[in-house]
Amino acid sequence: MSPSGSGIVVQKYGGSSVSDAAAVKRVAQRIVRTVQAGNKVCVVVSAMGDTTDELLDLAEQVTPTPPGRELDMLLTAGERISMAVLAMAIANLGHEARSFTGSQAGVITDSSHGRARIIDVTPGRISTAMDEGAIAIVAGFQGVSQDTKDITTLGRGGSDTTAVALAAALGADVCEIYTDVDGVFSADPRIVPTARRLDTVTYEEMLEMAASGAKVLMLRCVEYARRYDVPVHVRSSFSDRTGTTVTGSIDDHPDGTKEADMEQAIIAGVAHDRSEAKITVVGVPDVPGKAAAIFNEVARAGVNLDMIVQNVSQAQTGLTDVSFTLPKTDGPTAMNTLQAAQSEIGFARLQFDDQIGKVSLVGAGMRSHPGVSATFFKALADAGVNIDVISTSEIRISVVTHADKVDTAVRAVHTAFDLDADQVEAVVYGGTGR
């Protein structure tokens, strides 16, 4: 399970961990230490520092609308550079390393350029390299399409997904995700300086936190880890501290006992998200099928809705309001789509609000502790936070409030659930992680 064992370890290093030649050398030393501890190691690496942004700048200089196929070809040059340089740095320490593109590593995807999904992983060359005593270095974020054999990229968080997918295909003991923070915290340390580093968090909790705005791991990577039961260790490449292990849910506890439950904190943490906006469709006739018509239009435009709320109909008018939240970036598309369908759907007008924020409380223990929501809403009320929209899952409560109130809300909830550590635990080492 750990780098001190004798198993297969997949390590992923993000762009901030390989920002320049010095950083690459430091990472090489860490990899070699893992090998010297007796492990077979496969490393997934992102593009160095600002490389991706520089390549995007170059593309913009020749066209405002680069074709997806060619943009993927261009961007994958970034990992090609970082993986070759990392392999060289390892060779310089006296160990053999072989770099592989996503295609060479057997990362097979669909053909959706820029946001391809992994269909299959056939890591024959990686296994062979490791069996021959070499360290395998794999380009993150990229694959090859099953149908067209064109190069694809996986989109945001793609390198983490590559790492987890390879770990699953190789039967790795652990997938270590190296980043520029020490793990997963009970809240964003920039808002709550006394946020606590979590030792373990379940896939379910991590999924809810990622979906609620926690940025340390992307949703799809956690989904992949859960599906294939890959333990993920999120830790910093700038320190030797143990990070956070994301692992099987309590329900899946291998010996069938609920022992883990006893140790499980009720609440994992508080997440927040300022990337959404809210659209309110005002004056919708309260007859069956109208809400469906609204959401159909928006879905057809490719917009992902998050939270939805329909007000109680006003008896005297027979009209109601429908609100939903969505990524801010999808706002114009959704507004244009709905405006075009106004006469068909028959609403009065649209309101757009991008000054909102979402605050979410996540914890697997919520299921068996009915008092959680009462504490949550009391904390918000005491702090003077108005609630606009509420949504819940089995292990999460989320509210939408005004963007200005997000920090206050996060701190109030964090304190109310006694999550504050005795001292400041979080250290941010590098720049912005990717």
Residues contributing to the site for its own copies (CB under 8 A): 21, 24-25, 28, 55, 58-59, 61-67, 69-71, 73-74, 76-77, 80-81, 83-85, 87-89, 91-92, 97-99, 104, 125, 149
Cβ-based nearer residue to its own copies, 65 or 423: 65
Pairing type for strands 276-285 and 319-327 reads antiparallel
List all residues 6 or more positions away from 146 whose beta carbon is below 8 Å from its beta carbon: 108, 109, 110, 111, 119, 120
Contact 212, 273 (CB under 8 A): yes
Strand order in the sheet with 319-327: 308-310, 319-327, 276-285, 349-353
* Closest CB 170 distance from its own copies, rounded Å: 19
The residues pairing with 276 across neighbouring beta strands, listed in sequence order, are: 327
* Closest CB 124 distance from its own copies, rounded Å: 11
By residue count, the chain amounts to 434
d(C-alpha 148, C-alpha 68), whole Å: 13
* Closest CB 312 distance from its own copies, rounded Å: 52
Cβ-based nearer residue to its own copies, 104 or 375: 104
Cβ-based nearer residue to its own copies, 58 or 348: 58
d(C-alpha 219, C-alpha 63), whole Å: 31
Cβ-based nearer residue to its own copies, 73 or 301: 73
* Closest CB 109 distance from its own copies, rounded Å: 16
* Closest CB 209 distance from its own copies, rounded Å: 36
Residue with tokens 């005795």: 422
**Token pair of 364, please?**
């697997």
Cβ-based nearer residue to its own copies, 124 or 302: 124
Cβ-based nearer residue to its own copies, 81 or 427: 81
What is the C-alpha radius of gyration for the chain, rounded to an integer number of angstroms?
A: 23
* Closest CB 68 distance from its own copies, rounded Å: 11
Cβ-based nearer residue to its own copies, 44 or 71: 71
Q: Cα 246 to the chain's mean position, in Å?
A: 13
Pairing type for strands 308-310 and 8-13 reads unpaired
* Closest CB 169 distance from its own copies, rounded Å: 19
Cα torsion for 124, 129, 130, 134, to the nearest 10°?
Answer: -160
